[in-house]
A and B are shown apart, each in its own frame.
Chain A
Amino acid sequence: MEAVRFDNVKFSYEQEDEYAVNGVTLSVAEGEFVAVLGRNGSGKSTLAKLINALLVPTSGKVTVFGMDTSDPKQTFEIRKSAGMVFQNPDNQTVASVVEDDVAFGPENIGVPREEIGKRIDFALDAVGMQAFRQATPSRLSGGQKQRIAIAGVLAIRPKIMILDESTAMLDPRGRREVMEVVRRLNKEQGMTVLLITHFMDEALQADRAVVMHRGEVVMDASPEEVFSRSAELESYNLTLPRAAAICKRLQAAGMPVGNAFTAEELAEEICKSLQKI
């Protein structure tokens, strides 16, 4: 089933004449893991906010499971099915105790009290933060805070999870923690994931990579394919993952190595190539 659909969507912020999103047509299937790449200011965050009706298109149409985001009567249902985690881990929690914060979403949608407890259990288990149920969010690490934010969204039981540069402010350990959780949600629970990021290596974990440039979708393919079109990628001011960059260098010098995107793949390719001789 189609989870999200963009139909020639344009959006401009009030004070600006240029379109932040300029004629995007895109379809995301249920259960898919899509990474959206692009430089800062390429329109990728605007794209994310258009999905759960935080923003409404200037023209064109966005639908979430068939519901039109520009119809105010649908907004509540849309937000129930499309949850969103934001960039700054400090600016998303409303309560001073973890479990109260996770309860915020279910409370808003009117879940009965006994059921909320179960949902908190489920959500905290899913992000591996059950042990921190009574902790104070401001004392947790960045990665832990973002996992709490994810739990807060999960407790609403959405079908789509949008992560708007949610790893940008984290250290490597925090990024790993969050990516691990996201990957598991997608693989084990069939959650549709939209990951907005500028870390190329994160995109490798997705099924599909969409590249945005000046408000338009300019590439839309598997991450491997996107990264193998390096010249095109560079024209959009994006860089290759480090392993792919090294790989390209080796290939350019005539060494017969296949494409590689991670350290493991690169080691494998170099090994194969050296042993062939």
Chain B
Amino acid sequence: MLNDVTFGQYYPAKSFVHNLDPRAKIVFVIAYIVAIFLAKNFYALGALLLVTVFFILLARVPFGRVLRSVKMILFIIVFTAILNLFFYSGESAYEPLVDWWIFTITYESIVNMVFLALRLFLLVLGTSVLTLTTTPVALTDGLESLLTPLKWIRFPVHELALIMSIALRFIPTLTDETNRIVAAQKARGADFETGGLIRRAKSMIPVLVPLLVSAFRRAEDLGDAMDARCYRGSKGRTKYKKLVFSWRDALGVLFFGGVITGIVFMNLYLGAKFDIIGQIASLF
């Protein structure tokens, strides 16, 4: 019933981060991802974590809400981490902790696992700040604007953006429709919950066929409606909403420039990720 409300991740609030130009935010996230992969030691990752937390506070999104999006891919993080723990193939300066059959665990593999898990965690955390503070529509607009230079190589930027925005617009409509068809077929005794994989897949046919038919019908209607409203591609078209790059965005750009430079310096002066073993050892 309320699918459109919960659709996407957007968390409505008024904040500095919400107000940023979507283009700026997309660029930041790209810069942030680059920074994550540039980071060579725990200090750099720690710094990035602080930056992320700072932005979450600034965005006024509750931490629980942000962590929920991490929870969704927690499985992937854990899975990759465990693989890394057992199958780390790098050299080790110390005796292996466990060496059984094909599994070897060394100090390095533990450090590597933690490092990797932290990286993935940061990756998800950062990108969800983007999706939590930017509506899908704004994201589409931002992408369209950022991709504009591609028009020079005849890439259909406008069409692509329109397709994306129409797709977004129809998600709630089609979700409602799916719910309705599922209910109707259930009323005719359809059973979507029991049986093996093949049986369940087969039981979806009475839902998928009408859904597809309806999607085509809607597409046809929409085509007529767009024609009737004088649509003829990007030719001679103006745009009502223009994204405005403001002082906030400039500030953000400066900030992220600083972050990346900082990471590079940290890499240079604070050593590689395994140095942490020696540092911890020296404590004892």
A and B part of one assembly: yes
> Which A residues have a C-beta under 8 Å from some C-beta of B?
49, 52, 54, 76, 79-80, 83-84, 86-88, 90-97, 99-100, 103-113, 116-117, 120, 136-139, 149, 152-153, 156
| CB 8 Å contact bits of B225-245 with A (1 = contact, 0 = none) | 111111110001111111000
Q: How far is the CB of A247 from chain B (nearest CB, A)?
A: 39
Q: Which of B5, B169, B238, B242 contacts A94 (CB 8 A)?
A: B169
B136: which A residues are within 8 A, CB to CB?
96
| B137 in contact with A96 (CB, 8 Å) | yes
Other A-B contacts than A94-B169, A106-B240, 18 sampled, CB-CB below 8 A, are A76-B230, A79-B228, A79-B230, A91-B222, A92-B221, A99-B240, A100-B137, A104-B229, A104-B231, A105-B230, A107-B239, A107-B240, A113-B239, A116-B240, A138-B4, A139-B5, A152-B229, A153-B228
A153 touches B240 (CB 8 A): no
What are 26 inter-chain pairs, A to B, with CB distance below 8 A?
A: A52-B228, A79-B227, A79-B230, A83-B229, A84-B228, A86-B224, A86-B228, A88-B218, A90-B218, A95-B137, A96-B165, A97-B137, A100-B240, A103-B240, A103-B241, A104-B226, A107-B239, A108-B229, A108-B231, A108-B237, A109-B230, A110-B237, A112-B238, A113-B239, A120-B240, A139-B5
The answer to whether B238 touches A111, judged by C-beta atoms less than 8 angstroms apart, is yes
**Distance A96 CA – B141 CA, assembled complex (angstroms):** 12
Chain A residues contacting B224 (CB-CB under 8 Å) are 49, 54, 86
State the majority secondary structure of interface residues on A. Answer: helix
A88 to B238, CA, bound (A): 27
Residue of A nearest to B242 (CB): A113
Q: Which of B165, B217, B241 has the most CB of A within 10 A?
A: B241
- Is there an interface contact between B137 and A90, defined as CB atoms closer than 8 Å? no
Give Cα A209–Cα B246 distance, bound, in whole angstroms.
57
| B241 interface neighbour in A100, A136, A139, Cβ under 8 Å | A100
B173 at the interface (CB under 8 A from A): yes
Counting CB contacts under 8 A, is B168 at the interface? yes
What distance in Å separates the Cβ of B23 from its nearest Cβ neighbour in chain A? 17
Q: Which of A76, A94, A137 counts the most B-chain CB atoms under 10 A from its CB?
A: A94
- Whole-angstrom distance between the alpha carbons of A153 and B168 in the complex? 22
Q: Looking at the complex, which one of B165, B173, B228 makes contact with A138 (CB distance below 8 Å)?
A: B173
Q: Are A54 and B229 in contact, CB atoms less than 8 angstroms apart?
A: no
Given contacts A94-B162, A96-B168, A113-B242, contact A105 B137 (CB under 8 A): no
Is B190 in the interface zone, CB < 8 Å from A? no
Contact A92–B169 (Cβ < 8 Å)? no
Residue of B at shortest CB range from A77?
B230
Contacting pair B238 A54 (CB below 8 A): no
Residue ID in chain A nearest B3 by CB atoms: A138
A-B interface contact total, Cβ < 8 Å:
102
Q: Which of B4, B173, B230 has the most CB of A within 10 A?
A: B230
A136 near B227: Cβ-Cβ < 8 Å:
no
A219–B230 alpha-carbon span in the complex (Å): 33
- Is A138 touching B242 in the complex (CB atoms < 8 A)? no
Given A79-B227, A138-B172, A91 and B240 touching (CB < 8 A)?
no
Residue of B nearest to A110 (CB): B236
Q: How far is the CA of A105 from the CA of B236 in the complex (A)?
A: 12
B166 at the interface (CB under 8 A from A): yes
Once bound together, how far apart are the Cα atoms of A99 and B173, in whole Å?
19
- Within 8 Å by CB of B4, from A92, A104, A136, lies A136
Q: How far is the CA of A83 from the CA of B5 in the complex (A)?
A: 32
A117 and B224 CA atoms in complex are apart in Å by: 25
Distance between Cα atoms of A111 and B239 in the complex (Å): 9
For the complex, what is the distance from the CA of A79 to the CA of B227, rounded to whole Å? 8
CB–CB A93/B169 < 8 A: yes
Q: Which residues of B contact A153 (CB under 8 A)?
A: 228-229
Nearest chain B residue, comparing its CB with the CB of A102? B240
CB neighbours (8 Å) of A110 from chain B are 236-238
The 10 A-B residue pairs with the shortest CB-CB distance, nearest first, are: A91-B221, A103-B240, A92-B225, A84-B228, A105-B229, A108-B230, A138-B172, A116-B240, A110-B236, A96-B169
Q: Which residues of B contact A95 (CB under 8 A)?
A: 137, 165, 169
Question: Among residues 112 to 147 in chain B, which have CB atoms less than 8 Å away from a CB atom of chain A?
Answer: 135-137
